[in-house]
């Protein structure tokens, strides 16, 4: 199970590749890809379907033995985007003696200093000419070797570097890509790299969505290999736990749904984000195909339960003062239920009770997280989704250290606990 998690993390440097990996896994598990441009056709008990939006969000449905109106659905949702740097158009900047750096902008909220001095690569999608202007083709790109680096300034030029340094996104965070001997090459350095990798012609490229990613593989560490170290644990670890549980639990009375959204890190307000009506319309179409009426969708929503799975903050042994005095989850302590009085999290006493009981039934410990009252904390998917589909649900996630670092730290046993809890929920 942990080997599969590490493989998934390495195969998913960005959202598009995570969705591809999830789609491939679902297809191997017998799920049928639905084209949302076409009628979804007959839907019957036991059917396994999935659909993608923008190639960067994915929704899987395992239809239950009972009609949606009678048993609702059990949904796990998570997100596949992570903080990173997006490569801007016309990105190549020629510097002294042929050194070329790339112009980038920040995506989400990375801890920027953690991106310094480590081998990075490029991943995303390249858009090439299709049969007409409205139908360009999309090619996935993942350059599987160290290709760039954002280098620190030497301490000799900044003696106070260890006292904390303000970083400029535009000046400090631009990676170096290469050295050229012919200055005319600079305009095409990135394009030529892409063409070589994808085996296409320069004239075919119309545009791209490309991002930086850590080129170092995910791994375990610790005296007992009890820790996980990887980029993008938030929230790919929860995506993987949901996927494991979905494909390894048999058909049940209730319809199982796995929803992996994009753009959580920038507020979810896109057609492929949690604020989009896309998932609600897919559920409505399934309900309609099953029963011939919209009414069963509304009944199903009232019977449904959502687990919004997004990583939580683990107690950090060096920064105890940042945490709530009585609710600070630890690595290895099991899934974490998150509460917030201002309703940044969907959890309430009822939904938390439901999830805690699921954990208990699965033989898994669970913990509770609340922010230190003087610390603002973050937000997530659950309440955004619940404001468009009024679902009863809980916000939870496994605890990690250094959230939004280029390299986050998680716990091996927590991942196993989480898959067990999700499998119980889906059973
Ligand atoms: Zn997250």
pLDDT single digits (tens) 81-90: 999 999 999 9
Predicted confidence at residue 185, as pLDDT, reads 81
Question: Can you tell me the distance from the alpha carbon of 107 to that of 203, in angstroms, rounded to the nearest whole number?
Answer: 28
- Closest C-alpha among 305, 319, 315, 320 to residue 350: 305
Question: Can you tell me the distance from the alpha carbon of 119 to that of 150, in angstroms, rounded to the nearest whole number?
Answer: 8
3-state percent helix, strand, coil for the chain, nearest multiple of 5: 30, 30, 40
pTM over 0.75: yes
User: What is the Å distance from ligand 1's center to 152 Cα?
Assistant: 27
pLDDT above 80 (res 379): no
Question: Can you tell me the distance from the alpha carbon of 80 to that of 53, in angstroms, rounded to the nearest whole number?
Answer: 13
- Provide the phi-psi class of 360: left if phi over 0, else alpha when psi is between -120 and 50, else beta: alpha
For residues 350-364, average pLDDT: 96
pLDDT above 90 (res 294): no
68, two tokens = 């949606």
Burial class (CB in 10 A: 0-12, 13-18, 19+), 143: buried
DSSP 153: P
Predicted confidence at residue 387, as pLDDT, reads 81
User: What is the Å distance from ligand 1's center to 236 Cα?
Assistant: 9
For residues 396-415, average pLDDT: 97
User: What is the Å distance from ligand 1's center to 54 Cα?
Assistant: 20
User: What is the Å distance from ligand 1's center to 310 Cα?
Assistant: 5
Name the pLDDT band for 11 (thresholds 50, 70, 90). very high
Among 89-98, 100-109, 342-351, name the one with the lowest average pLDDT: 342-351
- Helix (H) or strand (E) segment spanning residue 356: helix 349-361
User: What is the Å distance from ligand 1's center to 417 Cα?
Assistant: 19
Where do the domains of the chain lie, and which CATH numbers do they carry? 2-82+231-426 (3.40.630.10), 84-214 (2.30.250.10)
pLDDT above 90 (res 292): no
CB count in 10 Å sphere of residue 73: 23
**pLDDT tens string 276-286:** 899 999 999 99
Question: Can you tell me the distance from the alpha carbon of 59 to that of 165, in angstroms, rounded to the nearest whole number?
Answer: 42
- Helix (H) or strand (E) segment spanning residue 131: none
User: What is the Å distance from ligand 1's center to 110 Cα?
Assistant: 12
Predicted confidence at residue 121, as pLDDT, reads 97
**pLDDT tens string 49-65:** 999 999 999 999 999 99
Predicted confidence at residue 187, as pLDDT, reads 80
CB count in 10 Å sphere of residue 135: 8
- Closest C-alpha among 378, 122, 422, 407 to residue 268: 378
Predicted confidence at residue 118, as pLDDT, reads 97
User: What is the Å distance from ligand 1's center to 274 Cα?
Assistant: 12
For residues 157-172, average pLDDT: 93
Terminal alpha carbon distance of the chain: 19
User: What is the Å distance from ligand 1's center to 392 Cα?
Assistant: 20
User: What is the Å distance from ligand 1's center to 71 Cα?
Assistant: 29
125, two tokens = 């999608």
Question: Can you tell me the distance from the alpha carbon of 142 to that of 125, in angstroms, rounded to the nearest whole number?
Answer: 9
User: What is the Å distance from ligand 1's center to 14 Cα?
Assistant: 14
Predicted confidence at residue 377, as pLDDT, reads 75
Phi, psi of 56 (to 5 degrees): -130, 5
User: What is the Å distance from ligand 1's center to 264 Cα?
Assistant: 7
**pLDDT tens string 172-221:** 999 999 999 887 787 889 999 999 999 999 999 999 999 999 999 999 99
User: What is the Å distance from ligand 1's center to 381 Cα?
Assistant: 8
Quick one: CA dihedral 19, 106, 403, 344, positive or negative? negative
Name the pLDDT band for 356 (thresholds 50, 70, 90). very high
**pLDDT tens string 238-267:** 999 999 999 999 999 999 999 999 998 888
User: What is the Å distance from ligand 1's center to 87 Cα?
Assistant: 22
Q: What is the mean pLDDT of the chain?
A: 94
Predicted confidence at residue 183, as pLDDT, reads 79
User: What is the Å distance from ligand 1's center to 235 Cα?
Assistant: 5
Question: Can you tell me the distance from the alpha carbon of 5 to that of 241, in angstroms, rounded to the nearest whole number?
Answer: 8
User: What is the Å distance from ligand 1's center to 346 Cα?
Assistant: 14
Question: Can you tell me the distance from the alpha carbon of 274 to that of 261, in angstroms, rounded to the nearest whole number?
Answer: 6
User: Using only C-alpha atoms, what is the Rg of the chain?
Assistant: 22
234, two tokens = 């938030």
For residues 380-399, average pLDDT: 89
User: What is the Å distance from ligand 1's center to 164 Cα?
Assistant: 26
User: What is the Å distance from ligand 1's center to 400 Cα?
Assistant: 11
pLDDT above 90 (res 74): yes
For residues 116-120, average pLDDT: 97
User: What is the Å distance from ligand 1's center to 309 Cα?
Assistant: 8
User: What is the Å distance from ligand 1's center to 379 Cα?
Assistant: 8
Question: Can you tell me the distance from the alpha carbon of 127 to that of 57, in angstroms, rounded to the nearest whole number?
Answer: 18
15, two tokens = 């959202």
Question: Can you tell me the distance from the alpha carbon of 88 to that of 75, in angstroms, rounded to the nearest whole number?
Answer: 36
User: What is the Å distance from ligand 1's center to 80 Cα?
Assistant: 8
Q: Could you give the C-alpha distances from 242 to 209, 248, 412, in angstroms and in order?
A: 26, 10, 16
Predicted confidence at residue 335, as pLDDT, reads 97
User: What is the Å distance from ligand 1's center to 238 Cα?
Assistant: 9
User: What is the Å distance from ligand 1's center to 234 Cα?
Assistant: 5
User: What is the Å distance from ligand 1's center to 232 Cα?
Assistant: 9
Taking a C-beta distance cutoff of 8 angstroms, is the pair 259, 80 a contact?
no
Question: Can you tell me the distance from the alpha carbon of 378 to that of 350, in angstroms, rounded to the nearest whole number?
Answer: 22
User: What is the Å distance from ligand 1's center to 74 Cα?
Assistant: 20
- Closest C-alpha among 224, 400, 385 to residue 312: 400
């Amino acid at each position: 199970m942990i080997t599969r998690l590490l493989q998934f993390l390495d195969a998913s440097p960005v959202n598009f590749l995570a969705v591809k990996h999830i789609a491939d896994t679902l297809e191997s598990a017998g799920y049928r890809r639905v084209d949302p441009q076409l009628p979804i056709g007959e839907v019957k008990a036991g059917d396994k379907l999935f659909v993608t939006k923008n190639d960067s969000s994915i929704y899987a449905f395992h239809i239950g033995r009972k009609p949606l109106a009678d048993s609702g659905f059990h949904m796990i949702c998570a997100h596949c985007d992570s903080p990173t740097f997006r490569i801007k158009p016309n990105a190549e900047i020629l510097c002294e003696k042929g050194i070329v750096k790339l112009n980038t902008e920040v995506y989400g909220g990375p801890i920027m200093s953690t991106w310094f001095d480590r081998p990075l690569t490029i991943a995303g999608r390249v858009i090439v000419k299709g049969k007409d202007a409205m139908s360009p083709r999309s090619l996935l790109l993942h350059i599987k070797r160290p290709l760039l680096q954002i280098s620190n300034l030497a301490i000799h030029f900044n003696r106070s570097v260890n006292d904390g340094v303000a970083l400029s996104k535009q000046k400090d965070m631009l990676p170096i890509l290469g050295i050229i001997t012919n200055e005319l090459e600079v305009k095409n350095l990135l394009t030529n790299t892409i063409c070589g990798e994808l085996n296409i012609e320069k004239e075919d490229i119309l545009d791209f969505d490309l991002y930086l990613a850590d080129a170092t593989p995910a791994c375990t560490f610790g005296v007992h290999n009890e820790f996980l170290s990887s980029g993008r644990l938030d929230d790919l670890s929860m995506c993987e736990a949901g996927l494991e549980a979905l494909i390894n639990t048999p058909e049940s009375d209730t319809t199982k749904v796995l929803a992996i959204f994009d753009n959580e890190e920038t507020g979810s307000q896109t057609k492929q984000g949690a604020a989009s009506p896309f998932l609600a319309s897919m559920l409505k179409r399934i309900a309609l195909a099953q029963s011939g009426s919209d009414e069963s969708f509304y009944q199903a929503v009232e019977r449904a339960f959502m687990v919004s799975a997004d990583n939580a903050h683990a107690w950090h042994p060096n920064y105890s003062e940042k945490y709530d005095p009585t609710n600070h989850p630890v690595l290895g302590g099991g899934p974490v239920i998150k509460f917030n009085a201002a309703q940044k999290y969907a959890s309430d006493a009822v939904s938390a009770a439901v999830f805690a009981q699921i954990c208990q039934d699965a033989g898994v410990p669970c913990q509770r997280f609340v922010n230190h009252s003087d610390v603002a904390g973050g937000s997530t998917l659950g309440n955004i989704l619940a404001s468009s589909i009024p679902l009863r649900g809980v916000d939870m996630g496994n605890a990690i250290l250094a959230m939004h670092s280029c390299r986050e730290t998680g716990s091996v046993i927590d991942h196993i606990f989480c898959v067990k809890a999700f499998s119980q929920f889906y059973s």
